[in-house]
């Protein structure tokens, strides 16, 4: 407990939870996107020491990732596609995709399918919940283990 930062709660404990707001990989990807759009993939912006392709290669070259570097001589459009892909993969499950898709104005391509949901059917005094998913392969084989969720009754 740190008394310099008192936090009143019913459990009698206090403190701060360290929270990562920006990962270094995100900063490099942000830089790569901006540098590519402003200067191209291999031009060093004034006041900087790296170019867009180098920033992406730094993300890909980390020891725990160890992916091959981007090729030399990419066009600005090819580099843009590389940035889109790297952001999609590197920042997966970090809630960036929703905003990236809108900023890049590609939602009509990436999110052009109807949203799914549940089909709720009243059955006597209860309800049957059936997910709206393609059930072709599953419904043809009702004995597959784990298919009980298809017709859950609550």
42-95 pLDDT per residue, tens: 999 999 999 999 999 999 999 988 899 999 999 999 999 999 999 999 999 898
pLDDT of residue 9: 60
Distances (CA, A) of 24 to 27, 28, 39, 52, 59: 5, 6, 22, 15, 9
Which of 36-40, 105-109, 119-123 has the highest mean predicted lDDT (pLDDT)? 36-40
Higher-scoring residue by pLDDT: 137, 26:
26
Q: How far apart are CA 18 and CA 149, in angstroms?
A: 38
Q: How many separate domains does the chain show?
A: 2
Helix (H), strand (E) at residue 110: helix 107-110
Query: The domain that contains 32 carries what CATH number?
Result: 1.25.40.900
Q: Which domain does 79 fall in, by range?
A: 24-110
| Same domain for 55 and 103 | yes
Rounded to an integer, the average pLDDT of 127-152 is 57
Q: What's the rounded mean pLDDT across residues 32-41?
A: 95
Pair 101, 122 in one domain? no
Whether 97 and 149 share a structural domain: no
Phi–psi pair at 124, nearest 5 degrees = 65, -115
Q: Are residues 93 and 122 in the same domain?
A: no
- For residues 56 and 25, is the Cβ–Cβ distance under 8 A? no
- Domain presence at residue 12: no
Rounded to a whole number, what is the distance in angstroms from the first to the last CA of the chain?
45
pTM above 0.75, yes or no: no
Residues 104 and 62 in one domain: yes
């Amino acid at each position: 407990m740190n008394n310099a930062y008192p936090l009143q709660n019913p459990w009698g404990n206090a403190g701060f939870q360290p929270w990562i707001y920006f990962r270094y990989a995100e900063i490099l990807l942000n830089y790569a996107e901006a540098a590519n759009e402003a200067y191209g993939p291999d031009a060093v912006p004034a006041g900087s020491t790296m170019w867009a392709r180098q920033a992406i290669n730094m993300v890909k070259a980390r020891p725990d990732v160890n992916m091959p570097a981007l090729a030399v001589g990419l066009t600005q459009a090819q580099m843009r596609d590389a940035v889109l892909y790297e952001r999609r993969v590197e920042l997966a499950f970090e809630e960036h995709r929703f905003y990236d898709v809108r900023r890049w104005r590609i939602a009509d391509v990436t999110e052009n399918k109807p949203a799914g949901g549940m089909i709720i059917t009243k059955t006597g005094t209860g309800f049957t919940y059936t997910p709206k998913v393609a059930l072709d392969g599953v419904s043809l084989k009702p004995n597959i283990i784990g298919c009980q969720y298809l017709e859950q009754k609550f």
